[in-house]
Structure 1
Amino acid sequence: MEDDNDGSLPDLELWRQRLADKGWGAPTWPTEYGGAGLSHPEAKVVGQEINRVGGFNPIPALAGMGVTMVGPTIMEYGTDDQKARHLPSIASGAVRWCLGLSEPNAGSDLASLNTKAEDKGDHFILNGQKVWTSGAHISQWCGALVRTDPDKKKRDGISFVMLPMNREGVETRPIKLISGASPFCETYFNNARADKADLLGPLNQGWSVVKRLLQHERQSQTSASSGGTKRESLQDLAKRYVETNADGSIADADLRSRIILHLMDDQAHKLTVGRITAEARGNVEVSAAASILKNSATNVSQARSELSLELMGSQGIGWEGDDFNEQELNTVREWLWGKAISIYGGSFEVQNNIISKNILGLPETTQKG
């Protein structure tokens, strides 16, 4: 690409625009919706080449829940008008999306939600509270699960609506986490309007829509490493913080064995992702296998954080001060943040329920109604 930056754009914004122009923000999406029309193997090569030169693709992060969850669901359930209006801005990273799903009394049992949507002809009026809404305070659009028919069984009277976050009656309040970050919000709908043109899927069939959306989420969470940044290997980290033998191996035999076992688990996870992808033979539909991969990625990621902290010793538990470098301060925050991985996107136990029912064929014993 030519260097056409005249200094009027920050480097990140220029890089986003260049990726968007190529369709590489969502490379497997059709070109008419802002993608590049690539196959999954071709898209993987593009990602590898970007990483090889030390770059990264910021668009999935800039789009919030757009590229990984909302976009694929609109692709499947949306009208032609909805696809044309929403998908290009998601693929380019120009519009950020959040999701209003969980509520104070409807987390793992999401079907117990109470946010109401009253039919007002060409629109709905929303009233209720959502919680753990990732990035709500910086998003432009929201996809929300709401109750449109309170007289039906709890899974049957739910619909999925989309609405702009700057609409009157929408309020967000960031939630500060133990790690010091505030990526989650409480979101309140106080007589907020959602147009019927932005009802995704049939009325009162939002449960089917959100099940697909959550499968896409689990699929996007199957990587055990954070995207875009290269992290120091545990082997190299160990050489800087713990005693090593003359041959460079870690002197503590037990620690050495546990790091080896972790690296084996990490490699097994990556090979399993590759096998499941190959078995799909180009079929991009996500399945219950995403629950296996989500739990596997959770185990690998959390184990790495624990080992990193152990290797650093007292230097790995600092919160602030000149006695700790930036990597050490980030490590303890990543360790704390990582505790959430086994909860968000469907808890570890919920994934096990999905695996037992849909893969092992065991009887359903949860989520009745």
Structure 2
Amino acid sequence: MSGNYIAGNITCVITAGGIPIPNTLIVQIIKINKTPKFASSSYTFSVDDNYPLNVDIPSAQVSATDDESTTNLLYNIESQSPENVFKLASSSSPNFQLTATLEYNMESNYILNVSATSDGVDNIGNTWLQTSYVLTVFNVMDTDNNPPVFLPCLSLSCPPPIYQATVENGSTEIMFVDSNTIQARDGDTQINATITYYLTSGYPSNYMDYFKVNSLTATVSMIKPFVGNNEVFTLLIQATENSVLGQSSYATLTVRALQVTCFPSSINDSTSVSETTPTTVSSEETVSQDLQTGFPTPVTCGNTGYSEAVVYGIIGGWIASLLFVVVLSWLFLVTPHLKKKGSRGNTINQQPGTQGNQTLGKNTQEDSGRLS
């Protein structure tokens, strides 16, 4: 075949009767199947992470043409990564739908390999399928569909944390066990709305008398010192994103009041303290962690330590003993010396007086004799 003309030979055969036999020549032209062609070498689409399932994505469509094909093209998703998220509305329609929920924070893009197949015959009439492939990328757009996430959690599936802290008896300084701050971030990374913090509830019911939270920084502080031992406060912290939806998340803060002033004979194996010296030690030196509750356990002085009352009794005993020694020293040392000194003074004063009287009497008698 050349252009619109067919070139060929017809051979006539002479029969015995000489009568020509008419013959009809029929030529059927069949198009040979060719490879489909996509309109673009690759496709890139965007879809929101809150897009509904099983609904056509209007902006996402791939199409191919094959002028030589005698039937419609068939489309298929050959592969996708991650898997099982997108599907085609039908094999004859290159419209995409979702079979699983999207989440920007977990996966921000998907890569698909899409095919288009045409059917036909080859140059000898056998069935021949032709397939083309095109790369298709879906970029996920972050939307406001997630509440705040408390750190140190980085995943939306992370359970709300339980922050733990202690405060010394009579102090207002809150000391965190595992972390120094309470902080939350917007669960929608690309939106990144600011967060406002609230102290919504707590136990015991008088928690508002002692605790408050900074609405901007989530810093928990004490209004006044708590006087008590082993009291545990449970506070519920609310983090609300400043957005149209205003979604919220919650975390728990537990604060235990510790009695940390004691009079131990030794704090630990490496630090010795005199048994006779009362000592106030810091919580870092005296607080050990309870493996079951996660809380620092209250300070204990051990079997060799002294209670506060005992120490005060010892100090009082020292003072009383010292006073007793002073009194005894006075009685046995100073008093006899004073008595001896007083007796000697009386003798000296008495002898001159006696001698004077005797001399005076003698002189009086002599003077009397002279006069007479």
The TM-score range, normalised by the shorter chain, is: under 0.3
Higher percent of residues as strand: 2
TM-score, structure 1 as length reference: 0.20
With structure 2 as the length reference, what TM-score do the two structures score? Answer: 0.20
The structure with the largest alpha-carbon Rg is 2
